[in-house]
Amino acid sequence: MQGKTYIKMEKIQVNIKDVFGTVTPEAVEALAPEAAKSLAKLTDHTGEGNDFLGWVDLATRTGADLLDDINATAASLRDNCEVVVAIGIGGSYLGAKAVIEALSDSFAAYRNDNGPKVLFAGQNIGEDYLYELQDYLKNKKFGIIVISKSGTTTEPAIAFRLLKDQLEKQLGREEANKRIVAITDAKKGALRSLATTEGYKTYVIDDNVGGRFSVLSPVGLLPIAVAGFDIHALVKGAADMQKATLDGSDKAALTYAMTRNALYQAGKKIEILVNYNPKLHFFGEWWKQLYGESEGKDHKGIFPAAVDNSTDLHSMGQWIQDGERTIFETVISVAAQQHTTVIPFEEANLDGLNYIAGKRVDEVNKMAELGTRIAHVDGGVPNILINLPELSPYCLGSMIYFFEAACGISGYILGVNPFNQPGVEAYKKNMFALLEKPGYEKETEAIKSRLA
């Protein structure tokens, strides 16, 4: 595991010059007063959803003692497990997955020298997925991190029931309890009751931190630490971005929030988050939940999508270049790579690549990125460019807070409560009625009549 050394690199930068063929600088700047009021609502806790603003200063409230305790728990799981399964859905899954994938060796799953594998469950109700996971865990030393405020959310509750039963049968109940960590409500709920009864190690999900803003809490930090990454640096990056955003010395979050709203007002209804580094695929998935669940309300909101380039240039590229002009792109460009790979010279040159022989692969990738941005802007697709110095825990922590803060500001500019998710409950009511869950008798009768 990395030590607690921080090298503060060049900060995240936001470049919006390639939106000005669609909106004017004046149109963006016109939103500055509303953006400033929105930021004040976050800092003063005066806006809608202010009971879910615990994430705003979470990074600076997270002390070294808690991080050290999380690292100690992670070390125990690493020492005693070949596999650790993190059980959760939505924000209880995507943040940790995004950071782990961004920092991991791309082929870590096929190596045997990187400590325990961190797998995920409870993010779906796939029967084959759960069967194959349980089959994989047979005769393996495994542990469980179960993440749920209530302990009754259907998807993770099913996964936990199955895996807890399997672990208890493999080890016995007493030993199994030593390999289960629960991250849940401080006082109430089914999982809190079970954890107290069984003596699980526990961490708290604060009542004022919503799931999609929880990656910098134990929800994300414990799985990330189990995977072997430096959570001190991750939180430090977020804390530095928090301070700069809230004291006004860094305008990146404000600029991004203002620009995307100006584009939305100009008819750009879809935002595509673009990366040119395959390690950022799940960061795009985390970002989609963050913005989709925060802004998609009252029949308003930008639709968040994501692509992985250059891969998706050979699938979605045609639609982005020539399709309906209701889109804009936000491109994450990672300046420094972790490794160097140089394209070799070949005498025969049958593939015609000698013109780039001697260049790093990243040089070619950067030119693909630049060429694509130019082509898309020329094709009527505005581009916001986010420059990230590198994929490191510190920089990822900074980027996580940048997007969280911009999301809160953007939602308030849009005129919605960015911190609730009333629409998520609709499918649950129908599912419970169809499954004839106790307490849903009236809904069951109503839906049966509808389907008759």
Q: What is the pTM of this model?
A: 0.95
Q: How far apart are CA 315 and CA 275, in angstroms?
A: 15
Catalytic residue among 293, 295, 329, 369: 293
Of 291, 411, 423, give the one whose Cα is nearest residue 50.
411
**Pairing between strand 180-184 and 83-87?**
unpaired
Q: Give residue for tokens 């099913």.
A: 158
Catalytic residue among 8, 140, 428, 429: 428
Catalytic residue among 138, 299, 314, 339: 314
Q: How far apart are CA 43 and CA 35, in angstroms?
A: 12
DSSP annotation of 297 reads B
Q: How far apart are CA 397 and CA 399, in angstroms?
A: 5
Q: Which of left, alpha, beta for 298 (phi over 0: left; psi -120 to 50: alpha)?
A: left
Q: Can you give the pLDDT at residue 109?
A: 78
Q: Can you give the pLDDT at residue 424?
A: 79
DSSP annotation of 300 reads B
- Helix (H), strand (E) at residue 66: helix 64-80
Q: Can you give the pLDDT at residue 9?
A: 45
Who's near 376: CB < 8 A, 6+ residues apart? Answer: 320, 321, 329, 383
Q: How far apart are CA 146 and CA 184, in angstroms?
A: 8
Q: Can you give the pLDDT at residue 434?
A: 85
Please answer whether residues 73 and 80 qualify as being in contact, where contact means their C-beta atoms are separated by less than 8 angstroms.
no
Q: How far apart are CA 2 and CA 117, in angstroms?
A: 17
Per-block average pLDDT, block size 10, for the chain (452 residues)?
43 96 98 98 96 97 98 97 97 96 90 83 97 96 96 96 98 97 96 97 96 98 97 98 97 98 98 98 98 97 98 97 98 96 98 98 97 98 98 98 98 97 84 88 88 86
Q: Can you give the pLDDT at residue 3?
A: 39
Return the sign of the alpha-carbon dihedral for residues 39, 40, 43, 44: negative
Does 314 qualify as catalytic in the annotation? yes
Q: How far apart are CA 176 and CA 137, in angstroms?
A: 14
> 160 is written with which tokens?
């936990």
What are the start-end ranges of the E strands in 209-363?
270-275, 303-308, 327-336
Please answer whether residues 370 and 3 qualify as being in contact, where contact means their C-beta atoms are separated by less than 8 angstroms.
no
Q: Give residue for tokens 């692969």.
A: 361
- In angstroms, the Cα distances linking 111 to 43, 137, 187, 245 are 45, 17, 40, 40
**String of b and e for 120-158 (b: at least 16 CB within 10 Å)?**
bbbbeeeeeebeebeeebeeeebbbbbbbbebebebbbb
> 338 is written with which tokens?
């972790």
Does 293 qualify as catalytic in the annotation? yes
- In angstroms, the Cα distances linking 104 to 52, 97, 227 are 31, 10, 8
Q: How far apart are CA 411 and CA 256, in angstroms?
A: 12
Please answer whether residues 399 and 12 qualify as being in contact, where contact means their C-beta atoms are separated by less than 8 angstroms.
yes
